[in-house]
Structure 1
Amino acid sequence: MKKLLLSIVLTLAIFNLFAQKNGSITGILADSANHKTTLNYSTISVYKVGDSILSTYKLSDDKGVFKINGLTIGIKYRLVVTAWQYGTYRKEVELTAANSALNLGTLYLSVKANDLSEVVISGERPPVIVRKDTIEFNAESFKTLPSAVVEDLLKKLPGVAIAADGSIQVNGKTVSKILVDGKEFFGGDQQIATKNLPANIIDKVQVVDDKQAKRRDPDLTAAEIPQIINLKLKKAIKKGAFGKLYAGAGLKDLYQAGGLMNFFRDTTQVSILAYGNNINQPGFNPNDVQRIGGFSRSGVNSMMMTSGGYFEFNGINFGGSYNGVQTSSGGGFNFNTLTKKGIKINTQYFFGRSDNLLEKLTNTNQTLGTDRLITNASENTNALILKHNIGGKLDWQIDSLTQLTIEPAIVLSSNNSVSKVSSRNNNANSQLINALDNLNDLNTSNNKYQLRADFSKDFKKAGRAFNIGADISATPNPVINYNRSTSVFYLTPSTSEIDQLRNNTIDNFRSYLYSNYTEPISKKLNFKADVSGNIINNENALSTFYRNPANQLYDIAIPNLSQTVKQAGFKTNTNISLGYKVTKDLYLQPGLVHNYISLNNRFTNTVDINQRYNFIWPTFQLKYKIFRFNYSARFTEPNVSYLQPVADNTNAFYIRNGNPNLLPARMQGLSMNMYKYDPKSLINYNLYGYGNFTKNGIVNAITINNGVQTINPVNKNGIYNFSGGANISKDFKKDKTSLKVGLGFWANFDHSPVIVNNIESDANVFYVGPNGSIRLNLNDKVEINQSYSVNLNRSRYDDSYYTNISYNTHQSTSELIIRYPKKLVFETSYSLTINDQKIAGYNNNIKFWNAALTYLFMKNDRAQLKFSVNDILQSNVRRNIQITGNSVIDTQSNNLGRYGMLTLTYNIQNFGQKVGGRQTFFNF
């Protein structure tokens, strides 16, 4: 709380700094011919009289109104007003103490008679020109350091926001690609251009709508159309190479090393990377993998990231672990080229290896009327994971209206792990019910063969479009599990042992076909048809064997633990809708969806089950200005693993049964979102919400007997959940100081049945999380980042058999970066997590402190020597708490703990990237 109060005081002080303004000038821009048409998004440039250096500037808002603050009293200024298709307007003004807030009233601009007749004064080149579909920034009007890169330049442009992950928005719209002189630079890879091209070679920055995206989805509103940034260079770039090499070492035989190189010439690019470390870190920063590793060009179809630094792109693990201790290594290449016929070709191969040691403690507290089942388990797991990823992509722009994309991929993955688990169950009276010692030797393969194809065709008639595609995949996943366990029961004294081999192969085949067609009926009315279908062919083959005492081989078959399940069939989804543009801002699209599903579930030891269902349901979409609402419905078939009638007894105290009679679930979903960026006040805000209603959803019915839980999946109705949130942020800028303040709120509500020992109750689980953040940047010399959030967790039950649960989690993160003196960068971060769920023997307050000092040397700071210390307070524990059904599950796991690391990095073709903070090359 002290940290939060300190942050509030700091914020108020900064607000006061930004509030200290001298004078202002306001006015309205209008057409001189009719005096009614206001000129929105025109540029008002301010110069001191007799000086050609730009003092400040402002854009008029959507009503032609402008206000320029922070002007000095007693100084004569020259205003230069530039509006698209209008002549330049000039006016000299002076603010006085008696009239510090000067209102110029309405300024009338005349339409240009002839562009060639206008006299251009080079010293008055406007910083911003807004045309009908283009915003053009004059790069020389926005001063940057000599070592600055394009990203530093973009951050100074009005309406441009760059997120921590490097993604860019202009006036609230997402930037889909970056061009250099109108051509794709590394396939439009944004961060290769923004983080490597020097700012001083840029002449103009142009922002235009992505017209191709509008053709693909005519329903996009103006606020949803993505943007394209085109960098007009003073001098063209034809070829080059850049990348980085690093190596580091620490006590306890810790190390890290890696390299990432990118070579390009005209339209061809080759990326090569390799890494290895034993400090739980990914080999590279996600931004580096995308931009230098070529993923932004080849495409990221799937991405997973965690707060601990672990991340995957397209199923490729680049190392790093939030829990446990990991040694990881990997390498590969990425090749991209553009042929003379305009075909983009990408191929890639990556190999990853990780060796993990996980030590985990879990406390599970279940409420059972007047009794409880309290489980304390300790786990020790060693796992070796190997993964190969082979992929390619062909993107052919056949003509300006036709595009074909083909993406093949192969993933070969194996996981060999040995896990030892010891668990104890107690009741509410602290009596020991039973104890289990379990050993699992698990060998699994997760392989995937996939082919994606997409063909889209626009027509000369505006709004008419056709698209067809397929996504075909096969995932053979064999699992061999050697399982040995000993169970001891104390209330009814007995002992049981298991020594078995489970050979389980799950083969899933999925063929997804889709097409859509849009036909404009009139200027306000259009027809749209979407048709998709899934061909399903899945198999779950399970064979279980006891170990033969005579030969010590697992060759004694167990018929009641062996079964093969085959799930075959198809499902279709047909959606027909009519879109009507009621007004300029309001668009309605009602429709009907027909869902059909046909499944045949076959079993080797039981009767086959056939399922056929269909329904017709309304759909609806509404767009009003920045607000969008959607409602739809669909079928979801149960996973084939749920249908397996044979019990999974690999954990003798948690036996999971299947249910061959499970029905497909019918789901109705709704969503809404609203996003707005106000360029006048530099405010971002968004509001979003989602909801799902499920019929025949899958719920686990639990039976507990003598401390042993048996799980049976069943279909239930009355399942629904809602989630949503809101965020608002505002930027303050004065001279070389910037401040960003953000507030947010999110909430989640789940309603579903809980069934334990045949006692059913509705469970209502709430999660509510307000949060706030402050980011202060003082001339890039000092950065202060502070965030705070609190998660309120509640569960409520209808039946008194279950006990209501409440707990709160507070999390604070503080970060300080000092780039002074010139060649030194100091950075430190401190995070604090507080949980008021009191469990004996568990650490509820977790403090995590890191720090690092970097020395920059050689030309353009190409070399960096960094000394970092991880987990200074030696709180090498990770913790997670969650509510599931009638249980609170508290999990703690080991981590690497405190260590020091000295790392040398050499940047090849480094154009002066900023060192330190979340974008630093190394996470620690």
Structure 2
Amino acid sequence: MRPLLSLLLLLVGFTTAVAQSQVRGVVVDSATRKPLMEATVSLLSARDSSVVTFMITNGDGAFAFSKVAVGTYRILISYVGYRSQSKRISVTADKPTLDAGTFELTAQAVNLNEVIVKQEGPPITIKQDTVEFNAGSFKTQPNAMVENMLKKLPGVEVDRDGTIKAQGQEVKKVLVDGKPFFGDDPKMATRNLPADIIDKIQLYDQQSDQAQFTGIDDGDRNKTINLVTKKNKRKGYFGQQSIGAGPNETSDAIRYGARLNLNRFNGEQQISLVGQANNVNSQGFTGQSIFGGGAGLGANFGGGGIIAAGGRGGRSGGGFGGSSNAITRTLAGGLNYRDAWGKKADLSASYFLNDLNTITDQQSRRQYALPDTSYQVNQNSTSRNQTTSHRFNMRFTYRIDSMTTLRIEPGFTVQNSLFQSLNQSRTLTSDAIGTGGPVDSTNLINTSNTRYNSTGNGISGNNNALLMRKFNRKGRTLSLNWNMVINNQNTDGINQSTNAFFGETGGRNQNINQRNEQSRRSVTNTVNLAYTEPLSLSKSLEFHYNYSLNRNTSDRTVNNYDESTGTYTVFNPALSNNFVNTYQTNRLGSTLQTKRLKYTYAVGFDVQQANLRSNNQTTDTELRKSFTNVLPNAMVTYTFSKSRTLRFMYRSRTNAPSVSQLQPVPDNTNPLNIRLGNPNLKQEFTHTVSLNYNNFQQTTFRSVFAMLNASQTNNKIVNATSFNNQGAQTTQPVNTNGYYNMNAFLALGRRIQPLKANVNLTSNVNFNRGVSLVNNQTNRSHHWTLSQGARINSNFDEKLEFGLSGNISYQTALYSLQSSQNTEFFNKSLSGDLYYQLPFRLVFTTDITYNNYSGKSAGSVQNFALWNVALTRQFFKNKQGELRLQVYDLLNQNRSINRNVTETYTEEMTSRVLNRYFMLSFTYNLRRFGSGPQGRSNRQERGQYDPQRGMPRPGRRN
């Protein structure tokens, strides 16, 4: 605890420990001697010309930089229509104030159509709801990937598994020059594109294509990053190829890794080829299962959502080694293509194949909060999941004429899976919990041994077609959007279980040997028609109609094992069922939007009529329900200045129960936790309020990002759990009221010029109030998560780069039924990384993470450190070749600890992970670019990229 607090104080102290020198001067016209107002004055480092800070002159042509550290700098003065001028200066400790004198700029007559003004921009620019980072202000080590650059951005967090969070929300999409890169998988871009080709990183909440076209916000937003490439990097070849292998001390298996990454950019034409093979948990993509989870086909021995999760291992900078709560062998490859077909058509398409073999070995301790007693379930589980997926995505845009555009986006995934698991569990009475004594039949409630094997195949697909039509009157539009989603799954599983139950009345044994076959079909069609009419220069009115039809079919057949024939032929009617569910909605509404110079607001409401029909074909019964809802919405955006904005949003929505929640058939995959559907479920109704604030002070490099989000749900679908006296439970979804959720995020960032470092402080608060039923009694739970993090990243010079971070997290869970089960957790972590260029083209890199876990239910404090070390020798003229020797988990302490908190239990889970191994690898970084953008890239050069439109917009050339 003390080291972490010391780190936080040290990082905060850095922000004030800057020398208090001042540099001032005046800018005038050389001919008239009149002051030049709003001239750009940049203070550059004399060593590498990087931007230290900048500002504009006042009405008297004067400027003054405060808190300038001791050192040598260059002042650059630029003004449109004048020749730029620079001067070298030195700031010393004995001169607190330095007068740079008067800069006399000479007028320059030029043809603006033939001149490109190149100037290093500010590190962060805020344009309405878009935060734009200048990649040149966040330098990375040579040959680094985009992911390494993202870690340096204020308000952006990157987990060890590559998941990106920006301003407290997960980033769902990463685009390249405004277009998809291998579909919607964020890691394909961040882990496969080099950082040195990126010019700007734009962060914003991307609206739906239809909302972007109409200009009316429909509330459908995804946190998105757009990577804008450098113009001189849009013609050429680049990529990274590597291969390596080495011994693993704890296993006879050889650890290996190979990677292929080749890109050809030619203006708007982009072709990318990726491939990888390794058994060290290194994935350059996001694993996506159409079966609804990582294992997908396997037994569900857990339950509930993860509220708090502990840290895990990490990976060194070479791309080998990874972090996971399992050990994964990966074979993957894919091709991405993008081009403009003439002036009317654009095409993006990708194909990706991956074959994953995942081995999981976990131990967990789960504590249940019951009305009159406490149960503890200790589990040991091992599983193997092999999944092969083929994924295809396409986006085709065709401009029929100057007023009409058609966009089609089809995609599909084909997947096959093999799952094997073995689970052993023991349930103990409250008397045996925490005693440390022997466990026997007097304190055992039950034991279970379950083996589950299954195979499955499935196909999921979607197609989105959008027809957009503009009219002669500006702002008048008509658009029609049709979206279809299908998901077909087939699984065939063998469930073998031996269970023993103990109690005062004596014990009993239960043996299960069954085969279950399940087929699920889902088709959803949604049509949305929108018409916008401008009422004035600032006001627009939108009318929209939405129709949606969702049809789900679930057919489950269970057969018991027949010992006489040795086959699974005895039909089990109690566990078999054929169920069809249909959910249909009609929604009609309007939105009035007003846009002013400083603010934009929109208010509207929809009226929705929904019909839910559940048909149990096995029992020949049908249930029909109708719902009518008024769905209001509102949005306000206020722009205080170019760098400070505030946005408020209110949305309401409904959510229908899934077919698995409705189907009234027991699922005994886990015999100690029987899951049962509920055909009487109602739809959920949720109110959501969000507030976002962005502020960046360009002259001080200080940034503030704040987010507050709150939601309340009526008829929330939660689990009702009942336990019998032998510890077996039955879980069924029900509707309850009283669910609330709130989360807040605050990120503060600033620049420390003496260290050439960026400091970021991040604070998170999450509160969840849940309501569930335990043994027919209402259980109200309150979950709090508070965390504070701090990190500093520095590119001190070309030889040295380092980072230091710390985080402390506190979680608590309070239960109304059993206050004795209230619990709290503390998670603390410290991490650091170092890149240092040694003589003879040697590079030393290392990263270390120290984790500390403590809490009431943890049993004891747990500490471990993950330390990775690598030594690299660079070859060839531009250091494109690298021979690396690295050690993963040098101390051999790596482990995985997760903490799960739900409405009815708390759980601590540890998993087998990768431990110490050595690897020798060779990497070649291909870089071959033309002299500048040519051909089809010229169209993009004419303007700045507009993330809201996906095309260049008129603007000043920088």
Does TM-score exceed 0.5, indicating one fold? yes
- Please list, as runs of the form range in 1=range in 2, the aligned pairs for 1:21-60 lying within 5 A after superposition: 22-25=21-24, 39-40=37-38, 42-44=39-41, 58-60=54-56
- 1:734-784 alpha-carbon deviations (Å, 9 max, x no partner): 5xx411111111111111213111221322211111221122221032222
Change (3 A) 1:398 1:824: farther
Corresponding position of 1:247: 244
Structure 1 residues 561, 687: CA separation in 2 closer, same or farther (over 3 Å shift)? same
User: Any gaps of 5 or more consecutive residues in structure 2?
Assistant: 288-308, 433-442, 640-644, 930-958
Is the contact made by 2:823 and 2:857 (CA closer than 8 Å) also made in structure 1? no
- Residue 588 (structure 1) shift: 2.7
Is contact 1:186-1:192 (8 Å) kept?
Answer: no
Q: Does 1:473 align with 2:475?
A: no
Residues 567-646 of structure 1: matches in 2 within 5 Å? 567-581=581-595, 584-604=597-617, 605-625=619-639, 626-646=645-665
Tell me which residue corresponds to 1:812: 830
Is the Cα–Cα contact under 8 Å of residues 378 and 423 in structure 1 kept in the other structure?
A: yes
Answer yes or no: is the 8 Å Cα contact 1:391–1:408 preserved in 2.
yes
Whether 1:709 aligns to 2:723 is: no
Residue 850 of structure 1 pairs with residue 868 of structure 2: yes
Letter in 1 for 2:800: V
Deviation at 1:442, TM superposition (A): 1.7
Could you tell me how far apart the structure 1 residues matched to 2:348 and 2:378 are?
50
Q: Secondary structure at the match of 1:571?
A: strand
> What's the CA shift for 1:463?
3.4
- Tell me which residue corresponds to 1:776: 794
Q: 2:281 is matched with which residue? A: 280
1:257 match = 258
Distance (whole Å) between structure 1 residues aligned to residue 903 and residue 71 of structure 2: 70
Partner of 1:289: none
Q: Contact (CA 8 Å) 2:387, 2:418: kept in 1 or not?
A: yes
For the residue of structure 2 that corresponds to 1:885, the secondary structure is coil
Q: How far is the alpha carbon of 1:871 from its aligned partner?
A: 1.7
User: In structure 1, the residue corresponding to 2:821 is in which secondary structure?
Assistant: coil
Per the TM alignment, residue 485 of structure 1 is displaced from its structure 2 partner at its CA by 0.9
* 1:725 corresponds to 2:727: no
Counterpart amino acid of residue 213 in structure 2 = R
Are the equivalent residues in 2 in contact too, given 1:750–1:764 (CA < 8 A)?
A: yes
* CA offset digits 1:375-420 (Å, max 9, x no partner): 0011111222111113322233455654432222221112211111
Is the CA contact 1:207–1:230 (under 8 Å) kept in the aligned structure 2? Answer: no
SS of the residue corresponding to residue 890 of structure 2 reads coil
Alpha-carbon distance, 1:686 to partner: 0.9
* 1:290 alignment counterpart: none
Shift of 1:356: 2.0
Cα distance in 2, alignment partners of residues 279 and 54 from structure 1: 38
Distance of 1:163 and 1:27 partners within structure 2: 41
Mean CA deviation greater in 262-271 or 897-906 = 262-271
Alpha-carbon displacement from aligned partner over 1:147-189 (angstroms, at most 9, x marks no partner): 899999x99x9x99998789999xxxx9998879xx99999x9
| Counterparts of 1:727 and 1:405, CA distance in 2 | 37
Call closer, same or farther: CA 1:278–1:27 in 2, change over 3 Å.
same
Instruction: Normalising by structure 1, report the TM-score.
Output: 0.79
2:880 corresponds to? 862
Aligned partners of 1:525 and 1:579 also within 8 Å: yes
Q: Please give the secondary structure, in 1, of the residue aligned with 2:556.
A: strand
Q: Is 1:694 matched with 2:710?
A: no
**2:390 equivalent in structure 1:** 388
The answer to whether 1:426 aligns with 2:428 is: yes
Q: Counterpart of 1:914?
A: none
Q: Report the counterpart of residue 503 of structure 1 in structure 2.
A: 517
Q: Is 1:654 equivalent to 2:651 in the alignment? A: no
The structural deviation recorded for 1:643 is 0.9
Paired position in structure 1 for 2:417? 415
Q: Which residue of 1 aligns with 2:456?
A: 444
What's 1:538 paired with? 552
* Aligned pairs, number: 851
Whether the aligned pair in 2 keeps the contact of 1:330 and 1:352 (CA below 8 Å) is yes
| Counterpart among 757, 761, 765 of residue 779 in structure 2 | 761
In 2: Cα distance, 1:698 partner to 1:395 partner: 40
Distance 1:601 1:186, change over 3 A: closer
For the pair 1:463 / 2:475, whether they are aligned, the reply is yes
Aligned residue for 1:680, secondary structure, equals: coil
SS across alignment from 2:574: helix
SS at match of 1:707: coil
Deviations 1:344-392 (A, max 9, x none): 2233322211222211111111122452111001111122211111332
Match of 1:921 in 2: none
Q: Which amino acid aligns with 2:603?
A: P
Report the Cα distance in structure 1 between the residues aligned to 2:913 and 2:552, rounded to whole angstroms. Answer: 39
Question: Which one-letter code corresponds to 2:710 in the other structure?
Answer: G
Contact kept in structure 2, 1:248 and 1:903, CA below 8 Å: yes
How far off is 1:897 after superposition? 1.2
Out of 691, 694, 699, the position equivalent to 1:675 is 694
**1:648/1:319 Cα in 2 relative to 1: closer, same or farther (>3 Å)?**
farther
Q: Which amino acid aligns with 1:745?
A: S
Q: Distance in 2 between matches of 1:442 and 1:784?
A: 47
| Matched-pair identity in % | 21
Q: Is the counterpart of residue 328 in structure 1 residue 324 in structure 2? A: no
Structure 1 residue 2: deviation in Å? 4.8
Distance 1:858 1:307 in 2: 39
Q: Distance in 1 between matches of 2:809 and 2:897?
A: 15
Change (3 A) 1:368 1:14: closer
The answer (yes or no) to whether the contact 1:795–1:804 under 8 Å persists in 2 is: yes
Deviation at 1:802, TM superposition (A): 6.3
Shift of the 516–365 alpha-carbon distance from structure 1 to 2, 3 Å rule, reads same
Cα distance per residue 1:450-474 (max 9 Å; x no partner): 2122233444544334433222121
Letter in 2 for 1:775: N
Match runs of 1:475-490 below 5 Å: 475-490=487-502
CA distance in 1, matches of 2:603, 2:105: 45
Indicate if the aligned counterparts of 2:280 and 2:321 stay in contact, CA closer than 8 A: no
The more displaced of 597-606 and 66-75 is 66-75
Match for residue 379 of structure 2? 377
Match of 1:292 in 2: none
C-alpha change, 1:309 and 1:388, in structure 2 (3 Å) is farther
Q: For the Cα contact (< 8 Å) 1:95–1:102, is it kept in 2?
A: no
Structure 1 CA distance for aligned equivalents of residues 916 and 674 of structure 2: 39
Q: How big is the shift at 1:870?
A: 1.5
Distance in 2 (alpha carbons) for counterparts of 1:149 and 1:376: 43
Q: Could you tell me how far apart the structure 2 residues matched to 1:361 and 1:517 are? A: 56
CA positional deviation for 1:524: 2.9
Asked whether the 8 Å contact 2:354–2:388 carries over to 1, the reply is yes
Question: Relative to structure 1, is the Cα distance of residues 237 and 575 closer, same or farther in structure 2, using a 3 angstrom cutoff?
Answer: closer
More contact order relative to length (CA 8 Å, sep ≥ 6): 2
Matched position secondary structure for 1:608: strand
- The residue number in structure 2 matching 1:7 is 7
1:315 aligned residue: none
Which residue is equivalent to 1:791?
Answer: 809
The question of whether the paired residues in 1 share the 8 Å contact of 2:281 and 2:324 is answered with: yes
Question: Partner of 2:670: helix, strand, or coil?
Answer: coil
Q: Which amino acid letter does the alignment assign opposite residue 910 of structure 2?
A: Q
Aligned CA distance change for structure 1 residues 653 and 74 (closer, same or farther; 3 Å):
closer
Shift of 1:255: 1.5
Moved more, 784-793 or 88-97: 88-97
Distance in 1, matches of 2:111 and 2:268, equals 40
Paired residue type of 2:453 = D
Deviation at 1:613, TM superposition (A): 0.7
